[in-house]
Structure 1
């Protein structure tokens, strides 16, 4: 039986098989997302290309692409890059970012689940910090057909390290968001609304179930944010976009700044940021 590569020191988070997120979760957040969301180290992207065995001569499809955190740097590594996201604001801002970077990308507004692609057209498919928001089984099955022989599906992300305590300032941020929502409930849900009893499974285990051979790697990068960078990153999160915070978002920001400076008066906010990627190759003959 084929299994995902083991990393016993890093527990892998599990997610519902069919999450239910609002399709306009990040409406209006494109500029904040482009400016403050963490990109991916060049060495990591080069390593992914190598592990995937990609030549760069084929087509890379970046699903749920956001504002191009993967598509834009990968456009320097692939002949053709196709970036797809279901939110128009993300596509608009991403296209502007790509133009500023001087790279050509095909941008399409669509959900990953409804995308129509000719089988065998793609060399590499990437999904960054978004696979948990998709119908993962449906996407994994579609990807098997879309990929040309030797192609791969890559799931990647960055964020908190599973099992590790939060930085003290991140706890402050989460408390501030929770307090704000209690007194100013968002007009629409900002989190997964799927049934609580739905089966949960890690990305790697699901891909193995769907007939992929999976290699996985995770690592940690120490970094430091400024106060403005912390605030900007908060605005890029689905539960604290300016839209989700409502018309008095400026009051939230003032309160959060005060709380953060009380914890770190120097305005510097260190953290250990986790990165991961899983490269999944379809197994020939698997159902």
Structure 2
């Protein structure tokens, strides 16, 4: 599926949307403001958020653009994003249930495009080539992720034991929808974007500050928000897995939960130079 295969796997994030907002740790506080300063945003222009999930970035960035196009192939993610945007009074986001590869923007239509831990699920070369034309000259492509090398306080969450429990139920090789990923998801996005003609990247690290209290339910939601442990993968064994996961977490919880250090956010900003 990754890079080489075109067909979208509709099981990749099946059943994940209801857990995503609660389960995923937030990006570093102030990320939207940092991006606004770095990209010189002034409330005008158009942003594309590709692989947007429930609008984790599209919603906070909407205030900095006149228009946002939020794209995700999972219909539940798009519906959840609409609900959250409506609850926040955000009306400038267009929500599209579509693969990034299937969205057609006019040449120069976009001022910025953002990928929040989503680019690796796409036909990256195809998407990058299209964005090279769709972004205006001087526009930006932004790749966002947690800082992977950071050692943060995890509040005693028994990650090693949780991983072992997942393997017990799903096998030793990482699952992702209908596929197995023995090598994990692909890296090397910098080479892909450089080949497409983008210039960069400039790297910015937005530091995570403080801790967040996570209940057992929060950590369970985090587990179910991941493609490699999406609820549907467990089939009829889901109730047993759920009970054992909760029991494991309860044994390690202090005062009903865990004090988790908030992660820093890794931002890579690419610039779209003039076409040759």
Q: Distance in 1 between matches of 2:176 and 2:66?
A: 43
Q: Distance in 2 between matches of 1:263 and 1:135?
A: 41
Q: How many angstroms does 1:269 deviate by?
A: 4.7
| Count of residue correspondences | 265
SS at match of 1:273: coil
Quote the residue 2:267 is aligned against. 277
Say which of 37, 42, 47 aligns to 1:60. Answer: 47
Q: How many angstroms does 1:27 deviate by?
A: 1.6
Say which of 93, 118, 123 aligns to 1:135. Answer: 123
Segments ≥4 residues shifted beyond 4 Å: 163-168, 185-188
Gaps of 5+ in 2: none
Asked if structure 1 preserves the Cα contact closer than 8 Å seen for 2:216 and 2:253, the reply is no
Q: Distance in 2 between matches of 1:271 and 1:180?
A: 29
* 2:70 is equivalent to residue 83 of structure 1: yes
TM-score normalized by the length of structure 2 = 0.84
Q: How many angstroms does 1:240 deviate by?
A: 1.6
Q: How many angstroms does 1:204 deviate by?
A: 2.6
Gaps of 5+ in 1: 1-15
Q: Distance in 1 between matches of 2:233 and 2:100?
A: 24
TM-score normalized by the length of structure 1 = 0.81
* 2:72 is equivalent to residue 118 of structure 1: no
Q: Distance in 1 between matches of 2:28 and 2:259?
A: 20
Q: Distance in 1 between matches of 2:197 and 2:238?
A: 46
Q: Distance in 2 between matches of 1:165 and 1:80?
A: 36
Quote the residue 1:5 is aligned against. none
Return closer, same or farther for 1:113/1:76 CA change in 2, 3 Å cut-off. Answer: same
* Pairwise CA RMSD: 2.9
Quote the residue 1:95 is aligned against. 82
Quote the residue 2:247 is aligned against. 258
